[in-house]
Homo-oligomer: A and B are copies of this chain.
């Protein structure tokens, strides 16, 4: 269905990871929600050149319902004007306390906010559909009504992430081709039900729509477990963040390599919705009862996008206090990421361990 050798979908914001996974026999999916249309255009062209016709995909946040959608939605610029003074003051104070005093240097690339309103994502969809993509994925809620038809008209498959069986049923009813059942152990936006419980439930609920398992999958044994649960393949994100190709901020990469599986937390501090990330001084500060609660989506993103850039820039100094704040989305598999490897090796090791595992299981019942 996906035209891949191995049923491994790799979500990454980094085009090099996407191309490397596709070239290794999996399916790279470019996370492009924070891209400008120009950047997406360049990256998809680059990926096409690198992969020579092999399949890849694009992931956007495409909520079917969006506050203010009639008027084109609220994007980062407008959202910034709506931020409560208490929240601005808390973030300013937080950065000052951790020695983050420099303003943000101009980013290397355009983008930064999340393009999750129709006004934000429509230009991205146009760029994506103008390229030879095999898959478009919607990471938040069921995809908008017309998207499935537009994708199918272009021979593009539609995937949608689901954290509950109820959401998965809604996606299937919307005509989605692939459901990504994502357990609570996953990095980024995630629900409360674990992969072990969610996957068989979703598989049974949406049959015959195929299901990919996400959350807790970084090695071949976990792929075999996902297939045992009834998934047709897997969707992995965190495992690529410590690859050679990954553009993960260096201090965050170091923290990921040192972290255990107990070092993540579901926090609303980055986007306003619960998302799993590394537990650091940043997430701890947002948890303290005396500090303000995170805002909703998209306000929290508007509040923290520039501060996050400033933290990561300040954290490049080896003894900067800002290093304590630095964090990023990652799943509980972070505990198993202990060295930097080329993306291609990660894929091939996954496949080898998967095949070994099936052999081991077979010997159990022989």
Chain A interfacial positions (CB closer than 8 Å to B): 164-166, 183-185, 191-198, 200-201, 215-217, 219, 221-222, 224-230, 260-262, 331-333, 335-336, 355, 357-359, 361-362, 364-365
Asked if A201 and B361 make an inter-chain contact with CB atoms under 8 angstroms apart, the answer reads no
Which of B185, B192, B355 sits near A262, CB closer than 8 Å? Answer: B192
Which of B193, B195, B224 sits near A228, CB closer than 8 Å? Answer: B224
Asked if B262 and A193 make an inter-chain contact with CB atoms under 8 angstroms apart, the answer reads yes
A357 to B224, CA, bound (A): 11
A355 to B364, CA, bound (A): 10
Asked if A197 and B216 make an inter-chain contact with CB atoms under 8 angstroms apart, the answer reads yes
Chain A contact residues: over half helix, strand or loop, or mixed?
helix
Scoring A183, A226, A331, A355 by chain B CB atoms within 10 A of each residue's CB, the highest score goes to A183
Q: A227-B364, A355-B365, A358-B362 are in contact. Are A221 and B193 (CB under 8 A)?
A: no
Asked if B336 and A262 make an inter-chain contact with CB atoms under 8 angstroms apart, the answer reads no
A262 to B355, CA, bound (A): 33
Scoring A224, A228, A362 by chain B CB atoms within 10 A of each residue's CB, the highest score goes to A228
Asked if B262 and A361 make an inter-chain contact with CB atoms under 8 angstroms apart, the answer reads no
By beta carbon, the residue of chain B nearest A222 is B196
Number of copies: 2
| 10 smallest beta-carbon distances between A and B, as pairs | A196-B216, A225-B225, A185-B194, A224-B228, A225-B228, A197-B332, A194-B194, A197-B216, A193-B261, A195-B196
Asked if B165 and A228 make an inter-chain contact with CB atoms under 8 angstroms apart, the answer reads no
By beta carbon, the residue of chain B nearest A220 is B228
A357 to B194, CA, bound (A): 20
A260 to B197, CA, bound (A): 11
Q: How far is the CB of A28 from chain B (nearest CB, A)?
A: 22
Asked if A164 and B262 make an inter-chain contact with CB atoms under 8 angstroms apart, the answer reads yes
A230 to B219, CA, bound (A): 12
15 CB contacts below 8 A, A to B, read A164-B260, A184-B184, A193-B335, A196-B217, A197-B332, A197-B335, A197-B336, A200-B221, A201-B336, A221-B228, A222-B229, A225-B228, A227-B361, A228-B361, A358-B362
Asked if B365 and A201 make an inter-chain contact with CB atoms under 8 angstroms apart, the answer reads no
Contacts of A224 in B (CB 8 A): 225, 228, 361
Asked if B196 and A261 make an inter-chain contact with CB atoms under 8 angstroms apart, the answer reads no
Asked if B364 and A201 make an inter-chain contact with CB atoms under 8 angstroms apart, the answer reads no
Q: How far is the CB of A356 from chain B (nearest CB, A)?
A: 10
A216 to B215, CA, bound (A): 14
A43 to B233, CA, bound (A): 46
Contacts of A365 in B (CB 8 A): 355, 358-359
Asked if A216 and B194 make an inter-chain contact with CB atoms under 8 angstroms apart, the answer reads yes
A198 to B185, CA, bound (A): 10
Contacts of A193 in B (CB 8 A): 185, 261-262, 332, 335
A130 to B191, CA, bound (A): 47
Contacts of A331 in B (CB 8 A): 197
Asked if B198 and A196 make an inter-chain contact with CB atoms under 8 angstroms apart, the answer reads no
Contacts of A358 in B (CB 8 A): 361-362, 364-365
Given contacts A195-B196, A197-B332, 10 further A-B contacts (CB under 8 A): A164-B260, A194-B196, A194-B216, A196-B217, A198-B261, A200-B219, A200-B222, A200-B336, A227-B364, A361-B362
Contacts of A165 in B (CB 8 A): 260-261, 335
By beta carbon, the residue of chain B nearest A265 is B192
A359 to B366, CA, bound (A): 10
A331 to B192, CA, bound (A): 12
Asked if B197 and A261 make an inter-chain contact with CB atoms under 8 angstroms apart, the answer reads yes
